[in-house]
């Protein structure tokens, strides 16, 4: 077992024991988050739900539950929890960031951008959200564009095939523009959703 795994198991055991000694403790949220990090999502959900019965307004626990649902691919469940948080805490930046990620992964570009706008407004120093917002809000290149950008002025080239070609050529920004334009018309296009995520990862690797 790796050192990190050993430390995680030990931390889980300590928090389980703490919660056994004091079932009314808020430490249930920390235990749920440790379960989530260990991949024990069912345990994380169960602990969060039990704790939220006692502390329904504990937004930290609700955010952990949303993260757990998202990790399991239950995006509707995650967004329901985030909606509950933002209803009472509209300035919760972490919730806006996670909501933006989920909407983006579901192909809902404008919804994602709206949450990123809120995150940037609340935290002007959030450069990652600002950069991503700029990519999702990128407009069609003007008539004086050159190269690949000029091709994108023609909807003929706004296809998943052309987006994939841009990716193969290392043109992540152009690929992002192709895939976001497709998704604005059809959020349920799985190839465009996958392509967008690949392009964003490629851009991050190139930058990092």
Q: State pLDDT tens for residues 84-132.
A: 999 999 999 999 999 999 999 999 999 999 999 999 999 999 999 999 9
Q: How does residue 206 score in pLDDT terms, banded at 50, 70 and 90?
A: low
Instruction: Tell me the C-alpha distance between 19 and 100, whole Å.
Output: 33
For the cut 70, the answer to whether the pLDDT of residue 8 exceeds it is yes
Q: How does residue 148 score in pLDDT terms, banded at 50, 70 and 90?
A: low
Asked if 44 and 28 count as a contact pair (C-beta separation under 8 A), the reply is no
Q: How does residue 47 score in pLDDT terms, banded at 50, 70 and 90?
A: very high
**C-alpha distances out from residue 123 to 61, 79, 103, 152, Å:** 22, 21, 20, 33
Give the pLDDT score at 5.
Answer: 82
Which H or E run includes 172?
helix 172-185
| Closest residue by Cα to residue 179 from 168, 191, 171, 170 | 191
28-46 mean pLDDT: 95
Give the pLDDT score at 155.
Answer: 77
pTM of this prediction? 0.87
For the cut 80, the answer to whether the pLDDT of residue 201 exceeds it is yes
16-45 mean pLDDT: 94
Give the pLDDT score at 141.
Answer: 53
Structure tokens at 139: 């407009």
Classify 168 as helix, strand or coil: helix
Which burial class, exposed, middle or buried, applies to 155 when counting CB atoms under 10 A from its CB (0-12, 13-18, 19+)? exposed
Give the pLDDT score at 156.
Answer: 77
Give the pLDDT score at 116.
Answer: 98
Give the pLDDT score at 136.
Answer: 92
């Amino acid at each position: 077992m790796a050192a990190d795994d050993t430390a995680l198991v030990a931390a889980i055991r300590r928090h389980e024991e703490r919660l056994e000694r004091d079932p009314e403790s808020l430490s249930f949220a920390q235990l749920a988050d440790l379960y989530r990090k260990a991949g024990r999502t069912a345990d994380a959900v169960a602990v969060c739900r039990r704790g939220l019965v006692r502390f329904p307004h504990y937004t930290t626990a609700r955010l952990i539950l949303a993260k757990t649902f998202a990790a399991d691919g239950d995006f509707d469940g995650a967004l329901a929890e985030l909606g509950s948080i933002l209803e009472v805490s509209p300035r919760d930046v972490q919730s806006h960031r996670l909501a933006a990620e989920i909407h983006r992964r579901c192909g809902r570009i404008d919804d994602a951008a709206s949450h990123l706008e809120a995150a940037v407004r609340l935290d002007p120093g959030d450069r990652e959200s600002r950069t991503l917002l700029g990519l999702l809000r990128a407009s069609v290149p003007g008539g004086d564009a050159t190269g690949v950008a000029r091709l994108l002025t023609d909807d003929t080239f706004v296809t998943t095939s052309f987006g994939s070609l841009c990716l193969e050529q290392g043109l992540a920004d152009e690929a992002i523009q192709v895939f976001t334009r497709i998704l604005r018309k059809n959020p349920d296009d799985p190839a465009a959703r996958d392509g967008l995520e690949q392009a964003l990862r490629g851009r991050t690797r190139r930058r990092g």
